Amino acid sequence: MDYNVLDALAMITREKNLNRAVVIESLVAGLQSAARKKLGAEAIIDARVDEVTGEMTVEQVKTVVDDLMDEDAELNIDEAREEFGEGIQIGDQVRWELPLEEFGRNAILVAKQILVQKVREAERTQIFDTYKDRVGEIITGSVQQVDRGNVLVNLGRVEALLPFREQIRGEKAHQGSTIRALVIEVLDNAKGPQIILSRSHPNFLRSLFEQEVPEIQEGIVEIKAVAREPGSRSKIAVVSHDDRVDAVGSCVGMKGSRVQAVTRELAGERIDIVPWSAEISLLISRALSPAEVSSIILDEENREATVVVNDDQLSKAIGKEGKNVRLAAKLTEWKIDLVAAREFHIRQRVMQEVSMELDEMNGITEKLAAALRGAGIDTIEALAEAGYDDLVAIPGIGPKTAESLQQTAFATLDELDRIIDATVAEELAKAEAEEKPLFDESLFESPTPDATGDESAAPALPASPEDVEVSGDPFADFDTRLSELPDAGETPREDEGS
């Protein structure tokens, strides 16, 4: 029987695109398994495949012993000397070649099965290693099957999965059509590597621009941030590392050719391209385009921004179904609260008029207020935010007083917020009903030249909150509302005596 397998090895290596050494190693493992199936699970088998001739050699190895305990792995000294000569000593290893014909047809089939299994494992490992290094890349394949919304994509040697959640809403995949997607994950499952694709991931948009814009490939232009609502609208912030190159213009392309190519791939997704800025106020203002921003108040600690826009710009800033402000928040990674200028002015004035000092809160004596201020707690807000341990550490404040103080502080702030919100809503409603602006909106318009063409005259400053005329007294029952709040309760003297 001719067991030269060079041609078979070459075919497997070529068809499976595997390393020849891996295939030979798999064949050796198959031969060892087949031999053990005939000779015993504990048998020591040495199998070799000659890479030049392709011939296979299988040998059984046993250790020479005086007292035989394991017939599969040991040989009695007397039998060993009779078989191999008187020079054999205890502890020596002896081996003899096994004719491949002894394995029988079943044993050869076992070797074949092991070989197939090993080849599959090697192929899976190679595919996994190949695609795990391609995470973040765009690949092209053909739609093989659509199953319950999930799309199976044929990549040649392997299938990939485009889950429904990673697709662009409204897109339909048709069997046999070409599809491009981003590799976002490669899983090493028992059934083989699973490649997960996405067309809705922000980095898919980023990678498409990298392919379309040479300046990005060369590192001249950089995409600093991406925000997407797949299939609907996106925003990207870009910066140029060369003053001679316009980052936005590079991404837009001649007559919009580059951005339009990306839009076509994304099922018509509208893309806003804004210049990046390290100054967060400027970046937020740009991210909210096409709306024009009047002013921005930043809360650095909580990464929150209150953005004031003129009343006629509010709908633009919000965008259809809130998309513009949502994308701006994603792009900047800041929480953005939009407020119309009219409401902002009213709220600022109302907050000033409704503000309350610490010693005006129910149950706060002058002595207690002085003790709190001495500990750095000089506002009701600071009292509400103070830690319980910090309060009881203040001389004259015991556990009950500390708890009561914080409860009253929270209740007071809630009532103040309710009064402010109600008052602002009432005044806005009155203003809309009377169709009377609460401040001169013309002050926010661009200055127009006079008859002489002089444009140097600066516009008048906006009306201050104090200049706003409001009918009635919105705070007539303010004291009555606050009197209903809970008393701070226990006095310092009671704590000292406890």
Task: Write the pLDDT tens digit of every residue in 28-67.
Answer: 887 888 888 878 888 888 888 887 777 788 888 888 888 8
Burial of 27 (0-12, 13-18, 19+ CB in 10 A): buried
Give pLDDT tens digits for 360-418. Answer: 787 778 888 888 888 888 888 888 888 778 888 888 788 888 888 888 888 888 888 88
Give pLDDT tens digits for 188-214. Answer: 887 778 899 999 999 999 999 999 999
Q: Are 123 and 18 in contact (CB under 8 A)?
A: yes
Q: Report DSSP state, residue 496.
A: H
Query: What's residue 34's pLDDT?
Result: 80
pLDDT at residue 265 above 60?
yes
Greater confidence (252 vs 469) lies with 252
Q: How far is CA 367 from CA 4, 153, 363, 381, 383, in A?
A: 103, 75, 11, 19, 15
pLDDT at residue 296 above 50?
yes
Q: Could you give the residue range(s) of every CATH 3.30.1480.10 domain in the chain? A: 6-129
Query: What's residue 460's pLDDT?
Result: 41
- The separation between the first and the last C-alpha atoms of the chain, rounded to the nearest angstrom, is 104
Cα–chain center distance at 5? 51
pLDDT at residue 359 above 80?
no
Q: How confident is the model at residue 284 (pLDDT cuts 50, 70, 90)?
A: very high
Q: Under CATH, what is the fold of the domain 134-198?
A: OB fold (Dihydrolipoamide Acetyltransferase, E2P) (2.40.50)
Q: How confident is the model at residue 320 (pLDDT cuts 50, 70, 90)?
A: very high
Task: Quote the CA–CA distance of 110 and 123 in Å, as a whole number.
Answer: 20
pLDDT at residue 116 above 80?
no
Task: Quote the CA–CA distance of 489 and 348 in Å, as a whole number.
Answer: 32
pLDDT at residue 126 above 70?
yes
Q: What is the CATH number of domain 6-129?
A: 3.30.1480.10
Residue percentage of the chain with pLDDT more than 70 = 82
Q: Could you give the residue range(s) of every CATH 3.30.300.20 domain in the chain? A: 277-343
pTM reported for the whole predicted model: 0.63
Number of neighbours of residue 447 by Cβ within 10 angstroms: 11
pLDDT at residue 226 above 90?
yes
Task: Quote the CA–CA distance of 263 and 165 in Å, as a whole number.
Answer: 20
| 262 Cβ contact list (under 8 Å, min separation 6) | 205, 208, 209, 212, 271
- Write down the residue that tokens 């609208």 correspond to: 233
Q: Which two tokens mark 277?
A: 């800025």
pLDDT at residue 454 above 50?
no
pLDDT at residue 495 above 80?
no
Highest mean pLDDT among 21-25, 77-81, 183-187, 472-476: 183-187
Cα–chain center distance at 231? 19
* CA-closest candidate to residue 266, choices 138, 99, 396, 121: 138
Q: What is the CATH number of domain 277-343?
A: 3.30.300.20
* CA-closest candidate to residue 302, choices 341, 277, 337: 337
Query: What's residue 450's pLDDT?
Result: 44
pLDDT at residue 26 above 80?
no
Average confidence score pLDDT of the chain: 81
